[in-house]
Amino acid sequence: MRFDIENWPIRDWLIKNWRKPVLYVFPEGLILLGALVYTHSHWLQNTLGAFADLYPYAVFGAGVLLGWRFHRSRLLFALLLMTVGDRTLAHFAAGNGLGRDHVVFQAISVLLPLNLAALALTAERGFVTPPGLVRLAIIGIQIAVVALFDRTMPGPTAALLHLRLLPPGLVRWTPLADPALLAFLVALGLQLAGQLMSPTSTQRSYLWAIAALFLGVNGLRPGNPDPMTFYLATACLILIAAVVEASYHMAYEDSLTGLPARRALNEALLRLGGHYTLAMADVDHFKNINDRHGHDVGDQVLKMVAAKLALVGGSGRAFRYGGEEFAVLFPGKSVEECLQELETLRQTVEETRFILRSRIRSRRKRAEPVVAEKGPGTRVPVTISIGVGEKDPRHTKPDQVVKAADRALYRAKEGGRNQVRT
């Protein structure tokens, strides 16, 4: 039996969705894996020893620069927390004054993950603004309280930080006491819950940063703070990578639909050297939908259409071009090879039930979205018109192909809408 892979229905789904699980581990997981390999390889440590000495300073400098330039106060606060924690623990470790029962070690191991989790769950509020100064004050109060209790009540404080909360057999492998372990579990649990409810690269980065912090405090040994410093610097690098990634998404992704934006399309067209087909799609009567039902409903229409476009077959890739206009790029395909996929796409949008629920609903129903694809309510007809152009001897430049597709789209509109024209 011979399988036709080109027409295998799941093939296009795999092509479009393989990135999703990868995004949960890249680049953060790769960065942490590199740190693990380095700290467990004597050869790498001997070869890159000079680099490792500069690594924390380089990360700190880059983090401060990016945090200031991109107005990422949470990154600046995370750098402050990591630096204070690292330098404090390194001070005690260098003097061989750090043991399992030391108040400072256990207190920092409790407070650092919880503070990082709190930062991840709060919004950007600035560094020298009133909310930022409140955060600074909270950090300062924590430092003062730990120092005060360590000096005045070391015994009771150590007893509190070493409460037996877990079976002894589960914690023999770590220098962390039970409250510190539970603090890490709570912090990781909060990040996992946040990532499941509202997945973002920033939320994900704090999850990996807390994991790096856990490896760091577990790797701290009296007289040798270097592994801990390396892991805490890696945690900061993970947060820096998230800022870079978020900036990329802001530049190249449409925030409403999640599709690649016009800039991404322009660069994709410039990279294509061979043959390709470009389709321009426009939501029919979109202004009427906005005027009659409001911009909230209009936004939901755009998101629904974008979701359908993202599933286009034939190795096509959808983009938000602007307003109610979208683009679908088919690398290496002719117009004839794409027409069936585009016609299927047009029919899919037309057949999708877009229900506008009543805004006067019971308290229990108010939690449901105003629009849906099923249930009672007023159906809002949504259709799209599509114009198709391709790179050929007459249209050799990207802007010429775009104009050809736009002219075809205009003919589709003039011809009655809800159709595909070339």
Judging by beta carbons within 10 Å of its beta carbon (0-12, 13-18, 19+), is residue 362 exposed, middle or buried? exposed
- Long-range own/partner contacts, residues 219-227 (CB < 8 A, 24 or more apart): 219/39, 220/89, 220/93, 220/98, 220/105, 220/175, 221/93, 222/93, 222/96, 222/97, 222/98, 222/99, 223/93, 223/94, 223/96, 224/93, 225/86, 225/89, 225/90, 225/93, 225/94, 226/52, 227/39
Pull the structure tokens for residue 376: 């009672």
Give the residue carrying structure tokens 């980065």: 205
Separation between Cα atoms, residue 379 and residue 297, nearest integer Å: 12
SS (H, E, C) 87-156: HHHHHHHHCCCCCCCCHHHHHHHHHHHHHHHHHHHCCCCCCCCHHHHHHHHHHHHHHHHHHHHHHHCHHH
| 279: three-class secondary structure by DSSP | strand
Separation between Cα atoms, residue 351 and residue 306, nearest integer Å: 15
Pull the structure tokens for residue 212: 């790096």
DSSP secondary structure, 396-408, as one string: -SHHHHHHHHHHH
- HSE value, Cβ hemisphere, 13 Å, CA-based, for 375: 12
Q: Is 324 a catalytic residue?
A: yes
Separation between Cα atoms, residue 74 and residue 178, nearest integer Å: 28
Residue type, 298: G
State the catalytic residue, choosing from 28, 324, 341, 390.
324
Separation between Cα atoms, residue 139 and residue 110, nearest integer Å: 14
Residue type, 361: R
Largest distance between two CA atoms of the chain: 85
Beta strands 325-331; 276-283: pairing state: antiparallel
DSSP secondary structure, 317-349, as one string: EEEEEETTEEEEEEET--HHHHHHHHHHHHHHH
Q: Which residues are catalytic?
A: 324
